Amino acid sequence: MTMAASPSISIAVVGSGGSGALTTGNSLLETACAAGWHGLLTRTLGPQIRGGEAAALIRLAAHPVECLPDQFDLLIGIDWLNAHRFGAEIKVGPQSLVISDPRGGEPPPMVAQSGARVVEIPMKDMAKSIPDGRPNMIALGIASRLLGFTAELVFAPIEKKLADKGPAAIEASRAAINVGFGAAATVEFDRHLAEPRPSTARRWLLSGNEAVALGAIRGGVRFAAAYPITPATEILEWLAPNLVKVGGVLLQAEDELAAINMIIGSSFGGTPSITATSGPGLSLMIEALGLATASEIPIVVVDVMRGGPSTGIPTKSEQTDLNIAIYGMHGDAPHLVLAPQSVSDCLFTTQWATYLAESLQAPAIVLSDQFMGQARVAIERPADVAFIGQRCTATEITGDYKRYAMTADGVSPMSIPGKRGGQYTADGLTHSERGLPTSGATDHLAQLDKRRDKLDGFNFGDHWASVEGTGEFAILTWGSLTSAAREAIERAAVDGIDVRLVAPRLLLPTLPEQLTAALKGVKRILVIEQTHGGQFHKYLRAHYDLPGSVRALNRPGPLPITAGEIHRAIADWRS
Amino acid sequence: MNAPLACKPADYKSEIKPIWCPGCGDYHVLMSFTRAFAQLGLPPEQIAVISGIGCSSRIPAYTNCYGFHGVHGRSLALAAGLKVTRPDLTVVVASGDGDGYSIGGNHFLHACRRNIDMTYVVMDNHIYGMTKGQPSPTTEPEFDTALSPGGTGVRPFHPLVVALASGANFIARCFSGEVNETADVLAEAIRHPGFSFVEILSPCVTFRPDEKNWKDQVHPASVGATADQGKAARRLMTDDGFNIGILYRGGRTPYRPAVAATNIDLSELEKDFEL
Amino acid sequence: MSKASDTPKVANLNDLLSVAYQVEIDAVDRYNVLADQMETHNNPELVKVFRDLARAEGIHGEEIRRLAGDFDVAARAREIAKFGRADSPEEVDLGAAHYMMTPWHALQLSLAGEKRALAYFTSIVETAKDPKVKALAAELVEEEAEHVNLVHRLLLRYPKPSDTWADDMDPPVSQE
């Protein structure tokens, strides 16, 4: 058997009806990451709550990875029931190995057409030979053996997962893993993972949604209002027990309208506050986002984007909430829109968003997406950053307090309830400096100017975007696609093509001068986004002058735009 | 409380002059607010008056307390976020029959259920006044309006029964014209733990001049408040809608968010993720 | 108001002074609320009428306070001047206000208030046991009777307006 060391290997585990494919995938990820490798896991799922068809998509590597592969090296089908529904998301090729249970139905046509080598292993029957044996543990044994993990390495995460099920369950899983291990002994698989780079860094395994939640707390958030929605709920579920530990509170709301108004209320009371939702929830929150803008109440709203419009594809990723996040509110309503670029950046960006919202007394929308939000990724522990929300509050109040006083930077000291002499009524009506309702042109313009200028005049520093490389060819992208673009750029560099990456983390306010500087000398721009309508491209055209010639690579979800595709688009345009 | 600060009602009034129509019952309600606050001796800066949209929702700025004039129908949610994070504040929510029972109806149910310690005052005039007289959930079915020629034909909403069924811990009905009585009820509503609901019949002289007769129709409740939900349900379902006074006084424990025994270091939270 | 209402229990001279003081002060507040309303609703003639009424009641209040010497009538009033379900006698009915109201309407309101005050102090004259209280109450009755007469005299200057006094050719304005 020839064994080439690969920098990364990708595995998909497919099954349905309670087969446990996701547990197999998570165990593989945890095993590899515990042993020092890096990895990423995402899921693709059928519409059922239980018993649906599911696939765990795993990419393991010797280096940090934050995007899916172009195609999978190993595909294990515990069964293939309804696997065709997401077959397009699990690409295999002639170099791929497919493990198939002969009693699990026929592999979907695209597997057959791919030219991949199919090896049949009767996982279900093997499991039956073990008391309480499960086919997904057989699959785990097979995958571990093929990847070169020792059986002992694999046992650890399984034992942890089954700890409260008792020794019999653990023993049954051990036995099944061993059987799978044996079954894979004769299967040829000519790849194994290159040794991980030695590192002393502390490493974490977490999802983007968890990273968002931790970032919020680090940024100072101590109140969350929660209304469940896929794929954002994990943010709220992580915050529920953890906010309490740091003296905070989470309140479940009756709907998204309540959730956002609750955080406006808590923030009015002086507590940095957050809610998390997805497209349908964001649509409901828009009116109150306008209220927070007008009444200058800092809040953070995380939108974990999913396929839209309407209910769309709740379990799959898209970047199609950009328009509503930027333009959703009625009236002229300057606010903050930010987008993390990876799982680890979910932490930074949410923390930064909290800091910015608090500093600027404005609502911040954080656009994450299902891919980042629900991907589990091994990362190096992100460095602590100093962005902790610091609200400018009214400490010395003499005479008539003016809540919306004109100041040099547009930020007015905010009086917090309880402060004597600072009483005012926060209002969504157009108001004067004192906060009194008015319909006069002068006050309207003055407050519009103030709310615009406080954002436009703020120094956002270098964090506004990822700007990497110096080539005359630039990729302009945002959000989770940044990781795929970065990998494509690395591949292009191997071809000798120097490509610049410009990915804004801050989408509103727009920073025309900074983007112009970032694109200086660029002759070709490839705009990449996961939308059908080219929302990001149109946003760029509306707010920025793009130099040179521009092409767009955009596609709606649920198919991810891979590094391979981007690499091809670069190469095609060059030639 | 023995009013240690010797506050006067005028201390709770801002210098802003209301835009309500002369003759509007809400002027009386504002007086009842300031008298209740004075009676309780609460420092104005410790009170937050939260509202939505409508004539009644203009009340926060007319007080000298902290106020929030938010969006239509969501005042209870905003107040919930404030109260759970600032339990030291006295939170009073002001609404109307359109704001509170129509667009804000869902929040009304859940605020009653949640039973956070706050007082919800609905100034009910059975009409949308700010938008010129459209039928609200409490408008009589035969009442003719431009939007409902010949009447809606729809049964009015019964706010007190809904509040009881949803778990409100204190239920009262007042008439705006009885300023002192209303002030006393408000003070008691504020003192009572949990979610207190006070419906104030407050005439709209512009779009419901017939409501000027309310002052002759209202009458004190013949018996005192009950703590028995069953009895209260029967009374509320069968009264004539003009029974004034405290009608239900429950003993449910108010909602209190979980509070950690110790405030741990943030790095503790990271342990969830460590490999 | 036709409802049964509590009236403050007056045990001595200072109590009566305190209640009488409060009756005037309540009237001042109420007239000022009405004057503010008229200001907001651009009825300057009525602003003046209500401010004048407020001023007059204020002067009465001051006189009573002086009569009480060092005794703190305001503090005592807070304790005893409680009229239960009813307004205090000279608190005129805000519900009767109208943005186009005329001085005749204002005087009708005032007349009703003065008559209620008259009735209240009369009831004290009739029930008081302390002769000093009885005597002061009688003085107050006389004063209120004079106010009633004054209002009647003023009404001669402001006859009842025609039935069209509240006609407004413009429709109401939709807000919010």
Assigned token pair, A195: 């040794």
* Interface probe, candidates B30, B33, B59, B82, chain A, greatest A C-beta count within 10 A: B82
Conformational region of residue A247, where left means phi above 0, alpha means psi within -120 to 50, and beta covers everything else: left
- pLDDT of res. B6: 60
Confidence class of residue B2 from pLDDT cuts 50, 70 and 90?
Answer: very low
- Gap from A35 CA to chain B (nearest CA, Å): 9
Nearest residue of A to residue B83, measured between CA atoms: A266
List, for residues A524-558, the tens digit of each pLDDT value: 999 999 999 999 999 999 999 999 999 999 999 99
Sign of CA dihedral A404, A410, A413, A416: positive
CA distance readout (Å), B52 to B60, B183, C101: 10, 22, 31
- Gap from C1 CA to chain B (nearest CA, Å): 8
Task: Indicate the range of A351-360, B257-266, C122-131, C136-145 predicted with least confidence.
Answer: B257-266
- DSSP class of residue A70? S
Q: Read off the pLDDT of each residue in A288-313 and give the average, rounded to a whole number.
A: 98
User: CA torsion angle for A297, A298, A304, A305 (degrees, to 10)?
Assistant: 60
- Gap from C70 CA to chain B (nearest CA, Å): 19
Q: Indicate yes or no: CB of B78 within 8 angstroms of CB of A206.
A: no
CA A89-A95-A101 angle, 5° bins: 65
Neighbours of A503 (CB within 10 A): 22
How far is residue A424's CA from residue A427's CA, in Å, rounded to a whole number? 9
Using alpha carbons only, how large is chain A's radius of gyration in Å? Answer: 26
Instruction: Annotate B99-136 with b (16+ C-beta within 10 A) or e (fewer).
Output: bbbbbbebbbbbbbebbbbbbbbbbbbbbbbbbbbbbb
- Gap from B141 CA to chain A (nearest CA, Å): 29
- Helix, strand, or coil here: B7? coil
The answer to whether B261 faces chain A, any CB pair under 8 Å, is no
Confidence class of residue A47 from pLDDT cuts 50, 70 and 90?
Answer: confident
Q: Indicate yes or no: CB of C39 within 8 angstroms of CB of B17.
A: yes
**Which residues of chain A are within 8 Å of residue B81 when distances are taken between CB atoms?**
223, 225, 251, 261-267, 269, 273
- pLDDT of res. C1: 32
Helices (H), C86-130: 103-127
Neighbours of A480 (CB within 10 A): 31
Q: Indicate yes or no: CB of C86 within 8 angstroms of CB of B180.
A: yes
- DSSP class of residue B95? E
List, for residues B211-264, the tens digit of each pLDDT value: 999 999 999 999 999 999 999 999 999 999 999 999 999 999 999 888 777 778
- Helix, strand, or coil here: A364? strand
Q: Is a pLDDT exceeding 70 seen at residue B1?
A: no
- pLDDT of res. C2: 33
Contacts 24+ apart (CB under 8 A), B211-218: B211/B25, B211/B125, B211/B126, B212/B23, B212/C95, B214/B175, B214/B177, B214/B242, B215/B175, B215/B177, B215/C1, B215/C95, B216/C2, B217/B242, B218/B175, B218/B177, B218/B178, B218/B242, B218/B244
Q: Which residues contact A396 (CB under 8 A, 6 or more apart)?
A: none
**Closest residue to B27, CB basis, from C39, C85, C94:** C94
**Which residues of chain B are within 8 Å of residue C174 when distances are taken between CB atoms?**
130-132
Q: Which chains touch A (3 or more CB pairs under 8 A)?
A: B
**Closest residue to B274, CB basis, from A202, A270, A271:** A202
Q: Is a pLDDT exceeding 90 seen at residue A197?
A: no
Cβ-contact A185, A119 below 8 angstroms: no
Q: Which residues contact A171 (CB under 8 A, 6 or more apart)?
A: none
Tokens 């801002």 — which residue?
A: B14
* Interface probe, candidates A203, A218, A242, A262, chain B, greatest B C-beta count within 10 A: A262
Q: Which chains touch C (3 or more CB pairs under 8 A)?
A: B
Q: Indicate yes or no: CB of B45 within 8 angstroms of CB of A427.
A: no
Cβ-contact A349, A340 below 8 angstroms: yes
Assigned token pair, B228: 């028995």
Tokens 């997962």 — which residue?
A: A161
How far is residue B148's CA from residue A410's CA, in Å, rounded to a whole number? 47
ipTM over 0.95: yes
Helices (H), chain B: 26-40, 59-62, 75-85, 97-98, 105-114, 159-166, 179-191, 214-217, 229-238, 266-269
Q: Indicate yes or no: CB of B17 within 8 angstroms of CB of C38.
A: no
Residues of B with CB under 8 A from a CB of C: 6, 10, 17-23, 25, 27-28, 31, 53-54, 130-133, 176-181, 203, 205-207, 212, 215-216, 219-220
- Walk me through the domains of chain C, giving residue ranges and CATH numbers: 13-88+97-157 (1.20.1260.10)
- Gap from B20 CA to chain A (nearest CA, Å): 14
Which of the listed CATH numbers 3.40.50.2300, 3.40.50.970, 1.10.220.150, 3.40.50.150 matches domain B9-272?
A: 3.40.50.970
- pLDDT of res. B5: 54
* Interface probe, candidates B211, B215, B243, chain C, greatest C C-beta count within 10 A: B215
DSSP code per residue over A288-339? HHHHHHHHT--EEEEEEE-B-STT-BTTS---TTHHHHHH-SSSS---EEE-
- pLDDT of res. A157: 87
Q: Read off the pLDDT of each residue in C106-121 and give the average, rounded to a whole number.
A: 96
Q: Is a pLDDT exceeding 90 seen at residue A301?
A: yes
State the CATH class of domain A461-574. alpha beta
Q: Which residues contact A177 (CB under 8 A, 6 or more apart)?
A: A137, A138, A140, A141, A144, A151, A154, A155, A158
Average pLDDT of chain A is 95
- pLDDT of res. A160: 87
Confidence class of residue A398 from pLDDT cuts 50, 70 and 90?
Answer: confident
The answer to whether B15 faces chain A, any CB pair under 8 Å, is no
Q: Which chains touch B (3 or more CB pairs under 8 A)?
A: A, C
Q: Indicate yes or no: CB of C98 within 8 angstroms of CB of B181.
A: no
pLDDT above 90 coverage of chain A, percent: 88
Classify residue A314 by burial, with Cβ atoms within 10 Å: 0-12, 13-18, 19+: middle
Crossing angle between the packed helical segments A256-268 and A279-295, to the nearest 10 degrees: 30
Peptide bond into A131 cis (omega under 30): no
How far is residue A546's CA from residue A548's CA, in Å, rounded to a whole number? 7
Neighbours of B63 (CB within 10 A): 24
Tokens 């009831």 — which residue?
A: C123
Q: Is a pLDDT exceeding 90 seen at residue A151?
A: no
Confidence class of residue B31 from pLDDT cuts 50, 70 and 90?
Answer: very high
How far is residue A68's CA from residue A57's CA, in Å, rounded to a whole number? 8
How far is residue A434's CA from residue A185's CA, in Å, rounded to a whole number? 78
Q: What's the residue count for chain B?
A: 275
Segments making up each domain of chain B, as ranges:
9-272
How far is residue A154's CA from residue A148's CA, in Å, rounded to a whole number? 11
pLDDT above 70 coverage of chain A, percent: 99
CA A480-A486-A492 angle, 5° bins: 145
- DSSP class of residue C144? H
Pairing of strands A506-508, A336-338: antiparallel
- Gap from A226 CA to chain B (nearest CA, Å): 11
Tokens 């035969």 — which residue?
A: B142
- Gap from C33 CA to chain B (nearest CA, Å): 9
Residues of C with CB under 8 A from a CB of B: 1-3, 29, 33-34, 36-41, 75, 78, 82-87, 91, 93-99, 101, 171-176
Average pLDDT of chain C is 92
How far is residue A35's CA from residue A570's CA, in Å, rounded to a whole number? 36
Measuring CA to CA, which residue among A297, A367, A298, A376 is closest to residue A328?
A367
Q: Indicate yes or no: CB of C84 within 8 angstroms of CB of B180.
A: yes
Nearest residue of A to residue B116, measured between CA atoms: A251
CA distance readout (Å), C68 to A541, C18, C20, C129, C137: 80, 8, 11, 20, 14
Q: Indicate yes or no: CB of B130 within 8 angstroms of CB of C176.
A: yes
Q: Read off the pLDDT of each residue in C121-144 and give the average, rounded to a whole number.
A: 95
Q: Read off the pLDDT of each residue in A377-385 and give the average, rounded to a whole number.
A: 92
Peptide bond into B137 cis (omega under 30): no
Segments making up each domain of chain A, as ranges:
4-193, 204-380, 461-574
Measuring CA to CA, which residue among B173, B100, B111 is closest to residue B138?
B100
Q: Indicate yes or no: CB of C34 within 8 angstroms of CB of B54.
A: no
CA distance readout (Å), C31 to A67, B24, B62, B100, C94: 73, 15, 18, 32, 9
- pLDDT of res. A3: 59
The answer to whether B80 faces chain A, any CB pair under 8 Å, is yes
Q: Indicate yes or no: CB of A262 within 8 angstroms of CB of B81.
A: yes
- pLDDT of res. A5: 85
Cβ-contact A422, A401 below 8 angstroms: yes
Pairing of strands A8-15, A54-61: antiparallel
- DSSP class of residue B172? E
Instruction: Tell me if A204-380 shares its fold with A461-574.
Output: yes
- Helix, strand, or coil here: A528? strand
End-to-end CA separation in angstroms for chain A: 39
Task: Indicate the range of A158-162, A556-560, B78-82 predicted with least confidence.
Answer: A158-162
Neighbours of C97 (CB within 10 A): 24
pLDDT above 90 coverage of chain B, percent: 91
How far is residue B111's CA from residue B118's CA, in Å, rounded to a whole number? 9
A204-380: CATH number:
3.40.50.970
Q: Read off the pLDDT of each residue in C152-167 and give the average, rounded to a whole number.
A: 94
Find the helix or strand (DSSP H, E) in which B51 lies: strand B47-51
- pLDDT of res. C5: 55
Whether domain A4-193 has CATH 3.40.920.10: yes
Q: Indicate yes or no: CB of B23 within 8 angstroms of CB of C176.
A: no
How far is residue B255's CA from residue A503's CA, in Å, rounded to a whole number? 45
